[in-house]
């Protein structure tokens, strides 16, 4: 079958909840992918940072195949020999006391919200059913009904109500707005250290330290959603490490499995995750031995291949090169580590046409918020490969 035939089939039988670029991929290795026509592309999106370790990392593939042949799923009705090891290794790596494993990022966020509410009632003493969580304009935390209940994106909510109450939105990057929004019923502030879907929006320096201090003073939990920003993307293990800030809860997903399998987790203190009693919360696949073995190896690859350090070093290089591009279309380049948003001027006509032109030249990236080209290559990328990609970006950004 050729590209057009695959597209026709997908459009006939698969719900159209996405508008993908018309390239049909069939294999991947490191930063490279290949389509069904045998054309090669460099992946500069890395599945929104799920592929920090690169496509089909041989070490993770090996562990996945071996574990799949040995024991894949027990359910949490029984224990397995991989979950305790992942829990220990992930907590030791990040310095948090406990974890709770789930599958998708949205489930990790839902879990954090449930924990925050229960903590509010049981420990803080908020009256039953009155707990409120503060989140930010420009947020992206997933697609469940509760999460889109506080999405500022009209399209994410349109037609999906009624919504879950108990959320307040404030501007991102303004610590005073948090202080002003807190009430006696506030249990948590949920925030991305850098807003990914919003177009790699980096808050002002000191923001996370300020919100940490405000949360301490008002006895509310700081929940850092590091599903996209965490695990090396910004040049530190967690993006909040840049400011030396620790959350009361941290959500991880995406690169936690190196792109092999949905694995997510909530990290927190014993006090916070201790609010869950047996039966309070769960997931059939959450913490399964296949997921845990894959996540353990994905974390080992991150550490042993020094991908975090690599993102810091090459990220600086990539951002410097991007900022040197002269183009009539660029308004500014934002970013941290190997993560950047090229913000186009309103008159550039949107980012999609540039992404389509890049596809023609063998570079895969995706627009976000119509006027931002988001760049997030696998962290295994080399300097030469960055040069190759930047040359193509320079070329398309000269288009009329």
Which residues of this protein are in contact with ligand PLP, per CB under 6 A? 48, 104-106, 109, 140-142, 192, 196, 225, 227-228, 253
Crossing angle of helices 383-396 and 352-360, in 10° steps, is 120
First to last CA, the chain: 35
- Residue by residue, DSSP assigns 170-189 as E-TT-HHHHHHH--TTEEEE
In the bound state, the residue with its beta carbon closest to ligand PLP is 105
Structural contact between residues 34 and 25, judged by C-beta atoms closer than 8 angstroms: yes
DSSP annotation of 144: S
Cα 133 to Cα 182: distance, rounded to the nearest angstrom: 9
User: Which one is catalytic: 44, 140, 150, 354?
Assistant: 140
Instruction: Name the residue nearer to ligand PLP (CB basis): 109 or 178.
Output: 109
Instruction: Name the residue nearer to ligand PLP (CB basis): 35 or 192.
Output: 192
User: Which one is catalytic: 43, 225, 241, 248?
Assistant: 225
Minimal distance, residue 133 CB to ligand PLP, in Å:
14
Cα 150 to Cα 131: distance, rounded to the nearest angstrom: 14
Phi first, then psi: give them for residue 107, nearest 5 degrees: -65, -35
Q: Is the dihedral of CA 254, 379, 250, 186 positive or negative?
A: negative
Minimal distance, residue 183 CB to ligand PLP, in Å:
25
Minimal distance, residue 246 CB to ligand PLP, in Å:
18
Instruction: Name the residue nearer to ligand PLP (CB basis): 105 or 286.
Output: 105
Instruction: Name the residue nearer to ligand PLP (CB basis): 348 or 372.
Output: 372
Instruction: Name the residue nearer to ligand PLP (CB basis): 28 or 253.
Output: 253
**Six-digit token pair at 261?**
């399998």
User: Which one is catalytic: 254, 336, 354, 366?
Assistant: 254
Active-site residue, 78 included: no
Minimal distance, residue 291 CB to ligand PLP, in Å:
13
Structural contact between residues 117 and 266, judged by C-beta atoms closer than 8 angstroms: no
Minimal distance, residue 139 CB to ligand PLP, in Å:
8
Instruction: Name the residue nearer to ligand PLP (CB basis): 230 or 315.
Output: 230
> Pairing between strand 167-170 and 330-335?
unpaired
Minimal distance, residue 48 CB to ligand PLP, in Å:
6
The residue ranges of DSSP E strands in the chain, in sequence order, are 25-29, 32-35, 40-43, 98-102, 132-136, 167-170, 186-191, 221-225, 249-252, 264-268, 330-335, 340-344, 363-364, 366-368, 372-375
Active site residues: 140, 225, 254
């Amino acid at each position: 079958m050729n590209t057009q035939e695959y597209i026709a089939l997908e459009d006939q039988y698969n719900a159209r909840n996405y508008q993908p670029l018309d390239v049909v991929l069939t294999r991947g290795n490191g930063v490279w992918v290949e389509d069904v026509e045998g054309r090669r592309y460099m992946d500069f999106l890395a599945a929104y940072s799920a592929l920090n370790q690169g496509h089909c990392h041989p070490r993770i593939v090996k562990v996945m195949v071996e574990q799949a042949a040995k024991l894949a799923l027990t359910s949490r009705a029984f224990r397995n020999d991989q979950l305790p090891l992942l829990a220990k290794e992930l907590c030791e790596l990040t310095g948090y006391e406990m974890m709770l494993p789930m599958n998708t990022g949205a489930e990790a966020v839902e879990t954090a919200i449930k924990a925050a509410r229960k903590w509010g009632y049981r420990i803080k003493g908020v009256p039953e059913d009155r707990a409120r969580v503060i989140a930010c304009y420009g947020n992206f935390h997933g697609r469940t009904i509760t999460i889109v209940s506080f999405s500022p994106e009209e399209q994410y909510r349109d037609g999906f109500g009624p919504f879950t109450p108990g959320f307040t939105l404030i501007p991102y990057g303004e610590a005073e707005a948090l202080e002003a929004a807190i009430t006696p019923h506030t249990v948590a502030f949920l925030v991305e250290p850098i807003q990914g879907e919003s177009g790699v929006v980096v808050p002002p320096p000191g923001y996370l330290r300020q919100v940490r201090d405000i949360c301490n003073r008002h006895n509310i939990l700081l929940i850092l959603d590091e599903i996209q920003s965490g695990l090396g993307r910004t040049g530190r293990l967690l993006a909040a490490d840049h400011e030396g800030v620790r959350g009361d809860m941290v959500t991880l997903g995406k690169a936690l499995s190196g792109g092999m399998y949905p694995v997510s987790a909530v990290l927190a203190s014993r006090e916070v995750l201790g609010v869950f009693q047996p039966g309070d919360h769960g997931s059939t696949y959450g913490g399964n031995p296949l997921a845990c073995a894959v996540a353990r190896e994905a974390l080992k690859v991150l550490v042993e291949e020094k991908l975090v350090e690599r993102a810091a070093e090459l990220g600086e290089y990539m951002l410097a090169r991007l900022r040197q591009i002269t183009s009539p279309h660029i308004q500014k380049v934002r970013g941290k580590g190997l993560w950047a948003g090229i913000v186009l001027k309103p008159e550039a006509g949107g980012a999609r046409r540039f992404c389509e032109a890049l596809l023609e030249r063998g570079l895969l990236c995706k627009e976000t918020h119509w006027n931002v080209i988001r760049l997030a290559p696998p962290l295994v990328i080399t300097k030469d490969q960055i040069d190759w990609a930047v040359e193509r970006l320079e070329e398309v950004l000269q288009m009329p």
